Structure 1
């Protein structure tokens, strides 16, 4: 057990006393206006922590580890939902009641093999395993386990060709959405294909984020935490306008990711693409980016338009930018 009382000046310029107590890896803090008050609270915290039952590391399950990380690591972050999905994949494979410390490199390798057989790409597999590593780190930090399970090295990510959506597939999806009474789903599909956005950005888009006069939208909450404003094509703007009468604080599109993914998967099955694991909602982003690169848009512009945080993320489209690269030949021949 460790603990201390120290003084600190708060935002208003007032002196406060901070009580800090750690028992069996569990850390708690409290504050008081006087040192005596802080000392009293430190004793209360110590007594409370020492009265808590000691968690048996062998009994700390994977489901408990996931819940801990959802609370202390991923809560409120732009990629919270993605982390929840990836961590849930680990729980589904190993089992919610599996002790976290019982998972070893061999077991993780078996999981990776299963993910490969399901069509997961190396980058996706690495992210799912990273979620498991994060859960282990949080459990160790908070005293729930005594040792972190060993994990194999990440899979080398090779540059595979991204799956793009053909015009025929796009039309087939839209026809299905209309046939099952979900015309707004077709509008979402068009908007995704025309803006290169992530679904989470579209899901959070509100009418107040749309500038009808300048034909552009602003995505305030993005994966890289940097808001961005992008112009809209006529097709994208028509999709927005077709969603109904604008209500300032209301969402433009009526779908959560889970609901839209289920609808998308049913449309895939209808088109005979149920076993095409690379064909997902995110395929719209690759399709738009590939189209722009083919048209000669520079990777720097593409990076800003799609909201990628680094040039490395858009290098996969470099082989499509032959028209843009031809300017290099012209410059060399002119000299």
Structure 2
């Protein structure tokens, strides 16, 4: 089975027992749907639908079920965006939870309240907000298109910033020592590069030998679709140079599942099995937090971490209490220097009246 774009349309092809079935569609969503239906029909001994159907882009199109509506919104709202994969997951979850055959015009406030209550049994409020935001966008589009005559109210919970989990130097040492003891240098090197460069897991796994030179490592930023270069610490440079001697292309030829398996083994051995935030992504938090503790500016941290929004970076600036105390200490020092330059007289003096005070009082009728 395959789908190929041909000009402004999408060509879907199915090969089955030596026969070929092919159709053209105006959108990829229609092509994908036809592929699934055709495969099912052929496996059941039925003939596939080969007659042209009503196009999703036609003037008289109106989805009849929640699944059709959700897939339509995904195709026209999220397809081709940076969040496509995540939104595909969220859309599929909503189809599963609401029901594919549910009449979306019958979704009420009570429906969403019950769904929220169920989700809060499993997910934190921040995740519930993200999931329900997907449903809000789906139903809002139906309302704007006139496919439903009312908008459903969906609760949004206030999210607390909370405490960002970071690894302490002691925890970092334990992780590295454990992987060395286990003879797992792949994971040891993965931890070093993740903590010292702040790369996302996907960025580490896509790191190629030609992306690294003696001074920096360059990765393709998965969020803003740009290349970014991060200068290397001495130990990160040593690790990556060693891996370049071992690997001609991919420096970390591992999968996410393999990393998770080795990570969870280490996590349990060190006694962190119950710490839900003892996860690989915390190494990225650690990178940003350590920079903030060193009074590195938000703009520099944003550039190094590849944050799209400065608000994301500011979470780490707020986290660094040492930076706040350091700022006040510098302020106090500057004030002390200012007093010293005046002769060291710290005796307070009454404020000099403003030159316009008598005139101001006269104008006020005093």
Normalising by the smaller structure, the TM-score range is 0.5 to 0.7
Cα 1:116/1:193, change in 2 over 3 Å: farther
Q: Judging changes above 3 Å, is the alpha-carbon distance between structure 1 residues 237 and 254 closer, same or farther for their aligned structure 2 residues?
A: same
Are the structure 2 counterparts of residues 152 and 95 from structure 1 closer, same or farther at C-alpha, using a change threshold of 3 Å?
Answer: closer
**Superposed CA offset, 1:186-235 (max 9, x none):** 32122111112222222322222212x3x201222331234321101122
Residue 243, structure 1, aligned to residue 243, structure 2: yes
State the partner residue of 1:223: 223
CA distance in 2, matches of 1:139, 1:204: 39
Residue 207 of structure 1 contacts residue 246 of structure 1 at CA under 8 Å; is this kept in 2? no
Are 1:189 and 2:188 counterparts? no
Q: Distance between the aligned counterparts of 1:200 and 1:330, measured in 2? A: 45
Contact 2:221 2:306 (C-alpha < 8 Å) held by counterparts: no
The corresponding residue for 1:292 is: 291
* TM-fit CA distance, 1:258: 4.5
Aligned-partner SS, 1:237: helix
Pairing partner for 1:161 from 160, 163, 179? 163
Match of 2:229, SS state, is strand
Deviation at 1:272? 3.6
CA offsets, 1:162-191, max 9 Å, x none? Answer: 011233433444455566665312321221
User: Match of 1:228, SS?
Assistant: strand
Is the partner of 2:210 in helix, strand or coil? helix
Q: Are the equivalent residues in 2 in contact too, given 1:126–1:155 (CA < 8 A)?
A: yes
TM-score in terms of structure 1 length:
0.66
1:287 is paired with a residue whose SS is helix
Q: Distance in 2 between matches of 1:169 and 1:202?
A: 21
Inter-CA distance 119–292: structure 2 relative to 1 (3 Å threshold): farther
Q: Unmatched 5+ residue regions in structure 2?
A: 1-7, 10-24, 28-50, 339-366
SS of the residue corresponding to residue 205 of structure 1 reads coil
Structural RMSD (CA)? 4.2
**Residues 85 and 183 (structure 1), Cα distance of their counterparts in 2 relative to 1, 3 Å cut:** farther
Contact 2:71 2:91 survives alignment (8 Å): no
- Distance in 1 between the 2:265 and 2:219 partners? 28
**Is the CA contact 2:63–2:69 (under 8 Å) kept in the aligned structure 1?**
no
Residues 49, 95 of structure 1: CA spacing in aligned structure 2 closer, same or farther, 3 A cutoff? closer
1:128 counterpart = 2:107 = no
**Contact residue 205 and residue 219 of structure 1 kept, 8 A:** yes
Q: Deviations over 1:107-144 (max 9, x none)?
A: 54455555555463x4443333334445556788999x
Change (3 A) 1:272 1:218: same
- Indicate how the Cα distance of structure 1 residues 28 and 119 shifts in structure 2: closer, same or farther if over 3 A, else same: closer
* Aligned counterpart for 2:52 among listed residues 48, 53, 75: 48
- Map 1:10-49 onto structure 2 (within 5 A): 28=26, 48-49=52-53
Could you say what secondary structure the match of 2:157 adopts? coil
Q: Distance in 2 between matches of 1:86 and 1:257?
A: 21
Which runs of 5 or more residues in structure 1 are unaligned?
A: 1-17, 20-26, 30-46
2:206–2:250 Cα contact (<8 Å) kept:
yes
Deviations 1:30-72 (A, max 9, x none): xxxxxxxxxxxxxxxxx934489x99955443xx767666655
Quick one: structure 1 residues 302 and 324, their matched pair in 2 at CA, closer, same or farther if it must change by over 3 Å?
farther
Question: Contact (CA 8 Å) 1:195, 1:232: kept in 2 or not?
Answer: yes
Partner Cα separation in structure 2 for residue 96 and residue 263 of structure 1: 37
Higher RCO, 1 vs 2 (CA within 8 Å, ≥6 residues apart):
1
SS at match of 1:48: coil
For residue 73 of structure 1, report the CA deviation from its aligned partner. 4.8
